[in-house]
Amino acid sequence: MFVPELKNGSGNLTVHPHQTFKKVSTGLPKSTENVSSDNAFNFTFKDYDQLVDCPIEIGNQVEFDFTAAGVKHTVAIYGEGNYDVSILKEDMKIIVENATKVFGENPNKDYTFIIHNVVDAQGGLEHCNSTTLSVNRWTYQGNEYLDFLSLVAHEYFHLWNVKRIRPIELGPFDYDKENYTTLLWVMEGFTSYYDELLMLRSGYYSQEQYIQKLNNSLNYVEGSTGSRVQPLSHSSYDAWIKAYRPNENSPNTTMTYYSRGQLMAAIFDAMIVYETKGQNCLDDFLKALYEKFHKKLNRGFTVDEFKLELEKWTNQNLTEFWSMYIDGTEIPDYKVYFSRVGLNVDYIGKEEASFGARFSDRNGKTMVQTVRSNSTAEAANLSPGDEIIAVEGFRVNSNRLSELLESIEIGDTFKMLIARDEILYELSVTMNGYEQPKFSLSLITTSMEKMLRDFWLR
Ligand SMILES: [Zn+2]
């Protein structure tokens, strides 16, 4: 909601909280004038974009500060949780400093983290000098705490990649309609790549742990049916109608630009490290985009401009690469890209008996949630929404069903009793084989490759 004539004008904002609320946390600059009544908080904004880019937390949140990379950081936490302020201060400072090192400078004077401790959530939203994070209130211990720090790194990295380095469509925004871009895979994928890389650089993961995470992402992406159907650029462009409106067929037809974009970032990083013999990496490419498009031109880039800049840093023509992996759905030759920088890639996928459906328990009923394309389940005419009642005449619950399906071999046949719209059907099922693409990453120990890997994964 805005007044078009006032969109570019500056203004003041006064917050009068409820009398029991004592704190207001936001990235908006505090106003020195207009200090009116008691319990009023005054802020300024230079235009409408800044106003709506600054969420405001009003309440009795816990607030603390720390300085990192020369920037004052305020953390506002709403809700109880198992966090320790002094530990958070230390760890968040390390993340901030390592993120800033990528670009060599931090454009903000101050930055605000607004954290909501809730029951079941993990996510955030980036802004120019603030972010909101929603996390489980018990996330501050063990492996969940590492996930929290990785989320902090992700949203913080966005202050550069998205808020400043950006496709031309992503700001200034047209607030009247959706803003379409084919480059969300760079915005979210590269940021996902860096949230894990920053955890490695900050010492929270060892090189081995990092490689295991990369291996998991690789198998998730290439093992998904949707990867062979939806190209990255389409996944980006259709985020409004696909990623944010999933249905029961989404696993068959869509791929997340977060994970596949993360792998593209890893490939480009490996290309730059290899081509420059360990002198440069993806950091330098991002820094160049930041200098050129944000600082010099103060605008976003087109796809062609992005590609041209990337071709300079990777020292190759990427037209074929683009049509195969960005606008196409082929599996990149990971072995070629990664082995040159010290990571061996073995293909370990093999044909196994596979039913190809996912189930959920609803009020004691076993319901089909998704059915994979070309699977045993699809060939047997099973559909999402069907209730599975019995196998070979015996009633099953979802646990028993999973156990049973695991024990059946390729070529075996069995009867399955289902209910669809209150009508019973008996399906005759023949178990088929399925080869899910799967890879294994391991370390190469020759000195040149090891040297490049240690520079890449430092
Ligand atoms: Zn993100």
Give the model confidence (pLDDT) of 337-369 as tens digits: 999 999 999 999 999 999 999 999 899 899 999
Q: Give the model's pLDDT for residue 34.
A: 57
**201 and 109 in contact (C-beta within 8 Å)?**
no
Question: Which of the four pLDDT bands, split at 50, 70 and 90, describes residue 1?
Answer: confident
Quote the ligand 1 centre to 362 CA distance (angstroms). Answer: 32
pTM of the model: 0.94
Quote the ligand 1 centre to 430 CA distance (angstroms). Answer: 43
The string of DSSP codes covering 274-309 is: HHTTTS--HHHHHHHHIIIIIIIS-S-B-HHHHHHH
Spell out the domains of the chain, with CATH numbers in brackets.
Answer: 1-59 (no CATH), 61-144 (3.30.2010.30), 184-348+444-456 (1.10.390.10), 353-435 (2.30.42.10)
Give the model confidence (pLDDT) of 80-106 as tens digits: 999 999 999 999 999 999 999 999 999
Quote the ligand 1 centre to 196 CA distance (angstroms). Answer: 13
Question: Which of the four pLDDT bands, split at 50, 70 and 90, describes residue 35?
Answer: low
d(CA 457, CA 450): 10
Quote the ligand 1 centre to 349 CA distance (angstroms). Answer: 31
Quote the ligand 1 centre to 190 CA distance (angstroms). Answer: 9
Q: Give the model's pLDDT for residue 37.
A: 67
Quote the ligand 1 centre to 103 CA distance (angstroms). Answer: 18
Record the tokens describing residue 86, joined without a space.
Answer: 């002094």
Quote the ligand 1 centre to 161 CA distance (angstroms). Answer: 9
- Is the backbone of residue 415 left (phi > 0), alpha (psi -120 to 50) or beta? beta
> At residue 327, what are phi and psi to the nearest 5 degrees?
-95, -5
Quote the ligand 1 centre to 126 CA distance (angstroms). Answer: 7
Pairing status of strand 130-136 against strand 110-118: parallel
Instruction: State yes or no: cis peptide before 172, omega within 30 of 0.
Output: yes
Q: Give the model's pLDDT for residue 88.
A: 98
Quote the ligand 1 centre to 101 CA distance (angstroms). Answer: 19
Give the model confidence (pLDDT) of 238-253 as tens digits: 998 888 888 899 999 9
Quote the ligand 1 centre to 59 CA distance (angstroms). Answer: 26
Quote the ligand 1 centre to 324 CA distance (angstroms). Answer: 25
- Is the backbone of residue 381 left (phi > 0), alpha (psi -120 to 50) or beta? left
Quote the ligand 1 centre to 191 CA distance (angstroms). Answer: 6
